[in-house]
Amino acid sequence: MAGRRTDTKERIQQVALELFAERGYDKTTLQEVAERLRITRPALYYHFRTKEAILVGVVDRLVDSIDELVSWARRQPMTPESKKEILRRIAELLADQWRPLLRFAQVNQGVMREVPAGERMQQGVLSMLALLVEPEASPVRRFEARLAVLAVIAGNVPFLADADVPEAERMAVALEVAGRLVSDG
């Protein structure tokens, strides 16, 4: 039963994020979320009482995955191979679970500044940006390391990359560029 409840919560979060990105957070009601899901409002309220609770749940999942990635990455040697693996894992998480939240955050920047979950997300992203930055590196190398992470993120945002290029190819290009930025050559 717990697995089914988790699936329902994830479905609610996914649909809510879609609506928040389409219509805007402030203009979306819980009633609209329930209607899109074809469930009753009481069924929705069983899982989430407010829109902010939905958003907090999504951000918590995202930041937990960032924390896991950061923890794993910090245990790795800073070799060119491990740096590329870190970038690959970031790309994998973007493709899997982060994309809807990034789209939401783009469209609803004001909301993300206002809610505590937005601060938590910002801190998570900052710790991810610092992953490939070696303290003794020159300012140029530190900047390249941050740009590498941003390149992977940009590959997931069609208007920042070539929107007419298929998604898989965009990500491959983003990873190649990011890999060059962190290579020792």
- At 83-97, the pLDDT tens digits run 999 999 999 888 766
| Within a domain: 6 | no
* Residue (of 163, 162, 172, 8) closest to 95 by Cα position: 172
pLDDT of 176 reads 93
* Residue (of 124, 158, 126, 185) closest to 174 by Cα position: 158
* Residue (of 125, 115, 168, 122) closest to 146 by Cα position: 125
| Within a domain: 127 | yes
| Within a domain: 2 | no
pTM (2 d.p.): 0.77
**Can you tell me the distance from the alpha carbon of 132 to that of 73, in angstroms, rounded to the nearest whole number?**
9
Report the 10 Å Cβ neighbour count for 12. Answer: 24
| Within a domain: 91 | yes
| Within a domain: 93 | yes
- Structural domain that includes position 95: 52-182
Overall average pLDDT of the 106-131 stretch: 81
Of the ranges 15-24, 65-74, 172-181, which one carries the lowest mean pLDDT score? 15-24
| Within a domain: 170 | yes
Tokens of 178: 């990011």
Band of the pLDDT at 159, cuts 50, 70, 90? low
Q: Are 66 and 72 in contact (CB under 8 A)?
A: no
pLDDT of 97 reads 66
If one compares 44 and 111, the residue with the highest pLDDT of the two is 44
DSSP conformational letter for 137:
S
Band of the pLDDT at 144, cuts 50, 70, 90? very high
Report the 10 Å Cβ neighbour count for 2. Answer: 6
Number of domains in the chain: 1
Q: What is the CATH number of the domain that holds 58?
A: 1.10.357
| Within a domain: 145 | yes
